[in-house]
Structure 1
Amino acid sequence: MEDETLTSKPQLPTSEEDDLDHDAPDQSMADLPHHSPTSPPSGSDSDSDSDSGSGTNSEDDEAQDKLQLQTLENDLSANPSNYEAHVQYINLLRKMGDIEKLRRAREAMSELFPLTPAMWQDWARDESSLIAGTEAFSAIEKLYERGVSDYLSASLWSNYLDFIQEYDPSVRECSPAGISKARDLFERALTATGLHVAEGNKIWEAYREFEQAILKTIDEADIQAKEKQVQCIRSIFHRQLSVPLVNMRSTLLVHKAWEVEQGGMLDNESSDLDGVSSHVASAYQKALDMYNARAHHEEKISRQDIPDLERLQEFMDYLKFEKSSGDPARVQILYERAITDFPVSSDLWLDYTRYLDRTLKVGRTVSNVYSRAIKNCPWVGELWVRYLLSLERNRASEKEIAAVFEKALQCTFSTLEEYLDLFLTRVDGLRRRILFGNEVENVLDYSLIRETFQNASDYLAPLLKNTDAFLRLYAYWARLELRIGKDLVAARGVWESLLKICGSMLEAWQSYIAMEKELGHMKEARALYKRCYSKRFPGTGSETIFAARNSIELEFNLLCLMIPSLPKNRIIQDICHTWLRFEREFGTLEDLDHALQKVSHRLEELQLFRAREESKSAEERENISKKNVREKRKPVSDISDEQSPAKKQKDAGENRKKVHEKDKTLLQNVDEKDNREEIKTQVEELDIKIEERTKDSIPEKARVFTDQCTAFVSNLHLKANDSHLAAAMAKNRQALLGRKLSIARSNPKHGKRDASGRSLQGAQEHGTDQTDIAGGSASKESVEAFKQSSAPPLALQSNPRKPRVDHIQLKGKNTFAVPRNVSTLSRTAKKPETEEQEDEKPKSNDEFRKMFIKG
């Protein structure tokens, strides 16, 4: 506002002061200790008397105010975004009466933040108390215009209308131009607040009073003009009675009384709708029903004795109800009421703008809401992104869009993805306007896209290095260099720049090679292969692929990486985001809007589903934790927990098993509720295939057994007897995971025959010793046969997943059911040999010859 000499200080009229918002501070500039240039200096006797009694206190207060003022100025200089410091600074300047500093402080704050309706009322009221001249009036009028655009406030609109009627000469004199101006302003106020259930009556009543004041100025002899004005007032009554507002019955009674004054035959003492025209009565009854349906919502959102979070939820419930009625104007009014009470609720702004994008889509109304949203919640990247898209839909100029983009980069977002999305949205818009924007402007140059990509890389590289998001940025850049820039050298330069930053990222090389192959440049692709084939690429699985030294291990890792380990909802989410990425990189803005409309609802469902599943998982983890606590409190068993020598033996295939288990960690990354059993089965089937492929190439001693359906019981207590075995066998044929178990007594000699074909089924009764090993039993003959065997186990030559029989027979070298550590124990465990064991010891040729000679 221009600084000027103010020569008078007219006070606001009483009616205006009564209409001021109840939240506004009571102190006005007229009451502050400032002086206009024409005011006489203070020096009266009363001043001297007051100074003599309280001069010390006044000086102390003034010194304290100055010290606080200096502190606030330093705070704002260091951090201009300190909202509370701005508010305290303005309040202190109002108290001190420093007019010029106060104006500058208010302007500085309004540049960064929207001001509340009460703050705009204070500002306009302070300036109105000093009004003088046409220029001052125009400046205050602009203040009101700025104020009513920040938040919805019926009280602020009422103050604005009163100010115009009081200080605008053309309106005050009821000139045709003044009447037209006032009516336009009243209609704007009704558009903004006329549907406000609780406060809309203020504007309707003010409008009627204005028109009734005009009626009194019309000459009684001008019957036609008078009748026209009466009809104008009647129309406002009828419009108001058709809108659900508070005190509707009072408005109806006032209308009937006014009609009587105009010479109507209505009986004001009759029932409410008696004598009222049918169409007015019908509209009134419909509006009354609408109000009654909303009364309980209005009561809930107006409560001040409940927490803000609860009130906000009441607003959301009210909005859901209004949306179901299908009136966008009423929904928008309610959103405006909500954000006035909760201006920094980012979820509320996101919900509001999303609704406008679906219903209005285009128009300055939507862009204006976004402009207010980013001033209230500048830390939300999604609001800036959608603001840019809104400007593009409204055919905004490149200058305006660029200014919003540059302003967004100055904000602090919570995630790096928000910065990336902002850069990509800017590139998307430039691409669309270059390719499809003939009707808008033809002055855009591809250099703007290249510059934006380079800025994005410089901005994000330190934090997004070696990520898929950063790769996506460069892949998009390289494609546009080819499609729009028509420059293959530049596209290759983009990939080379990426390799300098992310040279250890396998996907970067793959994408670069893919571009060359798509273009048919096989020589260049081969050269890239030669550059990267020997590199070790850290990450999930890629290092094992390039470090593999034989085809079997390579195939195994490839198969494991091909497992569809992602849950179905994650796959759907990826498809949705891929579609959006495709449209933003290749389609028009209409194509992008169509895709957003299709996938938004689906993504919301997935988000809700994921939240529900996470809640269930949290409950399960809590239950497991409680169970573990209970288990820890159980008494410790008296069974010895010493390790057997077999457990201390290292597996000859330990290294291969580690690689195998590393790839199986894919299972650990899968949600507990999404296809866990199915994916586990797929991994087991891969195990079988790998075992079949490796049976001929891996030496017997290094062979690792991978069957997943055999269990051995070890560390049995010495007191275990036949009754314990019978209890275990009682579980035979019982179901586990949908299949019946088969549990049988171990009997290795069952069905075995000697060299002559005689059955050895009863060998145990004839004194054949059985050696207990790892909870099972095997004959020493079988053990020795296993030790001497060099052929592949027969289990690897057949299907290891076929149904098992109840009795396992150990015949000759068929040792696939022998425990893993049998051969090791045979070599390491030194037990005293009994006579029976000596009898079972295999005979040499010389010993057999001696036996026959003796015979």
Structure 2
Amino acid sequence: MFGIRCVTPHQTIEIERMLYVVYIVPTFADRGSVQVWLQYVQFAVNHIKTADDVESVRVLFERAVSAAGQHVSKGSLIWTAYRQFECSLLQHLETGGVDCSQQRDICVGLFFRQLSLPLLDTQDTYNLFLEWSSSRLSNIPSLAMDNIKLAVQHTLKELLQILPFEDALTSSLDTSVKVDIFKSYILREKQHGKEAQRVSILYERALVMNPLDQLLWLEYVHFADRHLAPPDTVLGVCSRSTRNCPWFTELWRQKLFLMEKYHQSSHEDMQGVLEQALAVEYTSASDYLLLWLAYADYMRRRIEQDSDQQDQQVTAFTELLAQACEHLAQRFGLKGDPQCILLQYWARIEAAYKGDMEKVRLLWNDIMTQGHSQFTEMWLEYILLER
């Protein structure tokens, strides 16, 4: 049996902090869950000790509303927690008889930001604002009141457009039907040019319903690449897609491409992803071939970009293709790469960067002996290299 040490209250708090960093943070990073964000910010609020802690909590709330604040049916929970936090600070200042104009502006600003978003309880939130502001009208500029009123009018009109989707999601019990509703919902938001984060939340909600929808993940990856920032966010979507649908080769190919594109990963990281992808049991040789080709393209670009170490990069490339050919041959024989795409690729690199025509001829002899000597296009490819 393990021994149990006594810990001080301070140590207990630190242990709780560690648990949140290790377990809770990765969870909401994966799903953007409103409930988990709420747990996280409430935990932070409960451990405020200093003025610096207050600022840290504000930063955390901003992250929370950015990640989940546009969730139409649940986002208001985050905003409400944020407002209550700031309004409690305002109340403390008001009872202390000190200048609280700046804090009051913060609270009004939060109401305005929330009421500018199409969330299900917009009207209730506006009623709450009117009640809250009634005792502070002399200190709130009339322009701010007018702006909030206009924001609410616009928001309620927008809400009418998306309520049919939300109602359909609420009334449906079939997961596949809900996913189809989400797809229509997402299409509508895209066609109307809605904010990327708002569309992203819909993807997240849909994928919670059906995390094994490989085509929806691929669509989300493409959307994230075009519209979301920073790169860590995009790569996070990629990682989650391969974790949920590891059998879908195209997701691994996209992950490799985007890791290279955003310059966020080392060569060792790229190798690690290839190894993870190759460890999956795919149903066809073409899946493995596509993975090797995706990685070979990355290695070729390294040759083009690193002129100072071009010889080493070319050697690494040819070693990779030798490994790929051996891997496919061992698993599938000649069916691993029936068109000899890897051998042709290898020959082109040998000719272009090494000028080793003897090696090129050996490679093409291998290609022709695999049943391709009867095809004109193969001979033409070979002749072009000889020239």
Alignment TM-score, normalising by the size of structure 2:
0.89
1:410-449 → structure 2 map (5 Å cutoff): 410-437=279-306, 445-449=313-317
2:41 equivalent among 146, 158, 161: 161
Query: Which residue does 1:475 correspond to in 2?
Result: 344
Superimposed CA distance per residue, residues 317-350 of structure 1 (whole angstroms, 9 cap, x where no aligned partner): 1111111111222111111111112111112111
Q: Is 1:315 matched up with 2:195?
A: no
Distance 1:223 1:133, change over 3 A: closer
Shift of residue 258, structure 1, vs aligned partner:
1.1
Task: In structure 2, list runs of 5 or more residues that go unmatched.
Answer: none
The residue type equivalent to 1:374 in the other structure is: T
Superimposed CA distance per residue, residues 741-798 of structure 1 (whole angstroms, 9 cap, x where no aligned partner): xxxxxxxxxxxxxxxxxxxxxxxxxxxxxxxxxxxxxxxxxxxxxxxxxxxxxxxxxx
1:705-744 → structure 2 map (5 Å cutoff): none
Query: Which residue does 2:325 correspond to in 1?
Result: 457
Query: Which residue does 1:230 correspond to in 2?
Result: 104
How far, CA to CA, are the matches of 1:192 and 1:442 in structure 2?
A: 43
How far, CA to CA, are the matches of 1:259 and 1:511 in structure 2?
A: 79
Shift of residue 378, structure 1, vs aligned partner:
0.5
Residue 281 of structure 2: SS of its match in structure 1?
coil
Query: Which residue does 1:253 correspond to in 2?
Result: 127
How far, CA to CA, are the matches of 2:300 and 2:96 in structure 1?
A: 68
Shift of residue 6, structure 1, vs aligned partner:
5.5
Task: Work out whether residues 118 and 159 of structure 2, in 8 Å CA contact, stay in contact via their aligned partners in 1.
Answer: yes
How far, CA to CA, are the matches of 2:373 and 2:87 in structure 1?
A: 79
1:515-526 → structure 2 map (5 Å cutoff): 515-516=382-383, 518-520=385-387
How far, CA to CA, are the matches of 2:88 and 2:314 in structure 1?
A: 62
Distance 1:456 1:178, change over 3 A: same
Query: Which residue does 1:285 correspond to in 2?
Result: 153
2:213 equivalent among 345, 350, 354: 345
* Rg larger in structure: 1
Task: Work out whether residues 495 and 512 of structure 1, in 8 Å CA contact, stay in contact via their aligned partners in 2.
Answer: no
Query: Which residue does 2:86 correspond to in 1?
Result: 211
Query: Which residue does 2:77 correspond to in 1?
Result: 202
Residue 12 of structure 2: SS of its match in structure 1?
coil
The residue type equivalent to 1:149 in the other structure is: A
Shift of residue 408, structure 1, vs aligned partner:
0.6
Shift of residue 198, structure 1, vs aligned partner:
0.1
Task: Work out whether residues 300 and 314 of structure 1, in 8 Å CA contact, stay in contact via their aligned partners in 2.
Answer: yes
Distance 1:301 1:9, change over 3 A: farther
Task: Work out whether residues 6 and 132 of structure 1, in 8 Å CA contact, stay in contact via their aligned partners in 2.
Answer: no
How far, CA to CA, are the matches of 1:6 and 1:215 in structure 2?
A: 42
Task: Work out whether residues 353 and 369 of structure 1, in 8 Å CA contact, stay in contact via their aligned partners in 2.
Answer: yes
Q: Is 1:189 matched up with 2:64?
A: yes
Of structures 1 and 2, the one scoring higher in RCO (CA 8 A, sep 6+) is 2
Superimposed CA distance per residue, residues 398-451 of structure 1 (whole angstroms, 9 cap, x where no aligned partner): 121111111111012233222111101101011112203579x98962222112
Query: Which residue does 1:357 correspond to in 2?
Result: 225
Shift of residue 358, structure 1, vs aligned partner:
3.6
Superimposed CA distance per residue, residues 156-192 of structure 1 (whole angstroms, 9 cap, x where no aligned partner): 11111111222x3xx2x3x221011101110111011
Superimposed CA distance per residue, residues 782-829 of structure 1 (whole angstroms, 9 cap, x where no aligned partner): xxxxxxxxxxxxxxxxxxxxxxxxxxxxxxxxxxxxxxxxxxxxxxxx
Distance 1:387 1:361, change over 3 A: farther
1:141 equivalent among 12, 21, 28: 21
Shift of residue 233, structure 1, vs aligned partner:
0.8
The residue type equivalent to 1:242 in the other structure is: S
Distance 1:9 1:499, change over 3 A: farther
How far, CA to CA, are the matches of 2:229 and 2:41 in structure 1?
A: 31
RMSD, matched Cα: 2.9
Superimposed CA distance per residue, residues 690-719 of structure 1 (whole angstroms, 9 cap, x where no aligned partner): xxxxxxxxxxxxxxxxxxxxxxxxxxxxxx
Query: Which residue does 2:278 correspond to in 1?
Result: 409
The residue type equivalent to 2:210 in the other structure is: F
Distance 1:428 1:210, change over 3 A: same
How far, CA to CA, are the matches of 1:133 and 1:427 in structure 2?
A: 49
1:325 equivalent among 192, 196, 221: 192
Distance 1:297 1:223, change over 3 A: same
1:111-150 → structure 2 map (5 Å cutoff): 132-150=12-30
How far, CA to CA, are the matches of 1:362 and 1:296 in structure 2?
A: 32
Shift of residue 465, structure 1, vs aligned partner:
1.7
Residue 318 of structure 1: SS of its match in structure 2?
helix
How far, CA to CA, are the matches of 2:159 and 2:310 in structure 1?
A: 53
Shift of residue 463, structure 1, vs aligned partner:
2.6
Residue 269 of structure 2: SS of its match in structure 1?
helix
1:670-749 → structure 2 map (5 Å cutoff): none
How far, CA to CA, are the matches of 1:309 and 1:290 in structure 2?
A: 26
The residue type equivalent to 1:253 in the other structure is: N
1:11-90 → structure 2 map (5 Å cutoff): none
How far, CA to CA, are the matches of 2:384 and 2:230 in structure 1?
A: 43
Residue 414 of structure 1: SS of its match in structure 2?
coil
Alignment TM-score, normalising by the size of structure 1:
0.42
Shift of residue 360, structure 1, vs aligned partner:
4.5
Query: Which residue does 1:491 correspond to in 2?
Result: 360
Query: Which residue does 2:373 correspond to in 1?
Result: 506
Distance 1:234 1:265, change over 3 A: closer
Shift of residue 498, structure 1, vs aligned partner:
3.5
Distance 1:290 1:458, change over 3 A: same
Residue 120 of structure 2: SS of its match in structure 1?
coil
Task: In structure 1, list runs of 5 or more residues that go unmatched.
Answer: 11-130, 267-273, 521-855
Task: Work out whether residues 362 and 394 of structure 1, in 8 Å CA contact, stay in contact via their aligned partners in 2.
Answer: no
Task: Work out whether residues 71 and 201 of structure 2, in 8 Å CA contact, stay in contact via their aligned partners in 1.
Answer: yes
1:240 equivalent among 94, 114, 139: 114
Residue 251 of structure 2: SS of its match in structure 1?
helix
How far, CA to CA, are the matches of 1:302 and 1:373 in structure 2?
A: 26
Shift of residue 512, structure 1, vs aligned partner:
5.7
Superimposed CA distance per residue, residues 617-655 of structure 1 (whole angstroms, 9 cap, x where no aligned partner): xxxxxxxxxxxxxxxxxxxxxxxxxxxxxxxxxxxxxxx
Residue 223 of structure 1: SS of its match in structure 2?
coil
Query: Which residue does 1:624 correspond to in 2?
Result: none
User: Quick one: percent identity of the two aligned structures?
Assistant: 27
Task: Work out whether residues 73 and 119 of structure 2, in 8 Å CA contact, stay in contact via their aligned partners in 1.
Answer: yes
Distance 1:472 1:507, change over 3 A: farther
Which protein is richer in helix relative to its size?
2
Superimposed CA distance per residue, residues 524-556 of structure 1 (whole angstroms, 9 cap, x where no aligned partner): xxxxxxxxxxxxxxxxxxxxxxxxxxxxxxxxx
Task: Work out whether residues 197 and 228 of structure 2, in 8 Å CA contact, stay in contact via their aligned partners in 1.
Answer: no
Distance 1:317 1:499, change over 3 A: same
How far, CA to CA, are the matches of 1:246 and 1:147 in structure 2?
A: 25
Query: Which residue does 1:695 correspond to in 2?
Result: none
The residue type equivalent to 1:308 in the other structure is: T
Superimposed CA distance per residue, residues 647-688 of structure 1 (whole angstroms, 9 cap, x where no aligned partner): xxxxxxxxxxxxxxxxxxxxxxxxxxxxxxxxxxxxxxxxxx
How far, CA to CA, are the matches of 2:85 and 2:210 in structure 1?
A: 33
How far, CA to CA, are the matches of 2:315 and 2:92 in structure 1?
A: 66
How far, CA to CA, are the matches of 2:4 and 2:272 in structure 1?
A: 36
